[in-house]
Amino acid sequence: MTAITGNVDGKKEISAIIVPTDAPGFSVIDNYEKMGLNASNTTQLVMEDVHVPVENLLGKKGEGFKQFLVTLDGGRIGIGAMAVGVAQAAYEKALQYAKERQQFGRPISQFQAIQFKLADMAMKIELARNMVYKAAWLKDQGRAFSKEASMCKLYASEIAMEVADQAVQIHGGYGYMREYEVERYMRDAKLLEIGEGTSEVQRMVIARLIGC
């Protein structure tokens, strides 16, 4: 966790601290119901008068915010990867359904309107995947990657939502039913536009990093 550990020149000093879950005063509230990503448990951590030894300081005192930002950049690559996975799953379901669903004596995948949707989905997923790979490669190489992390997170999360929406559309009324699974991908994708910094925050970060 991060906490204010003092003031330096009138500014709050933030440090990273390891807090054991069995520390007195530490409790977990687990009663949240989410619209999606239900396989990932979400809890609230509550700390009341929790005391830990100074040895639990993680890194240097006062550098917690910097550590947090570095972690956030890496997390954005993870969100981008999740978004690519959700989008890929939604696309594959839509493609399979389009090949099987018959209208006017032929699969709807033979209709140009559906073909264009699927082509756009495939193209955008490929672009998002390559953006995630680039950001991850830069991080692995020890090079600056903040801009690429924000870009891949922003683009991948937004196309995941778009692809999931189109997958539901291709399924028609069936897409609204849980049996066909694509409605789940739409619900899961929404959080990816919010977690690790909203789309609006990513645009602010990118604007700053390109010198605006």
The single residue of 55, 158, 196, 200 carrying the catalytic annotation is 196
* Residue 7 phi, psi (nearest 5): -130, 135
Whole-angstrom distance, CA of residue 151 vs CA of residue 145: 10
What the block records as the tokens of 83 is 């978004």
One-letter amino acid at 157 equals S
What the block records as the tokens of 131 is 């953006």
Whole-angstrom distance, CA of residue 35 vs CA of residue 191: 9
Whole-angstrom distance, CA of residue 94 vs CA of residue 111: 14
Please identify which residue in the block is written with the tokens 């680039």: 134
Whole-angstrom distance, CA of residue 58 vs CA of residue 85: 33
The helix (run of H) or strand (run of E) holding residue 39 is none
Strand 11-17 versus strand 2-8 pairing type? antiparallel
Q: Would you call 158 a catalytic residue per the annotation?
A: no
Strand 57-58 versus strand 11-17 pairing type? antiparallel
Longest C-alpha distance within the chain, in Å?
75
Whole-angstrom distance, CA of residue 172 vs CA of residue 133: 33
Any idea which residues carry the catalytic annotation?
A: 196
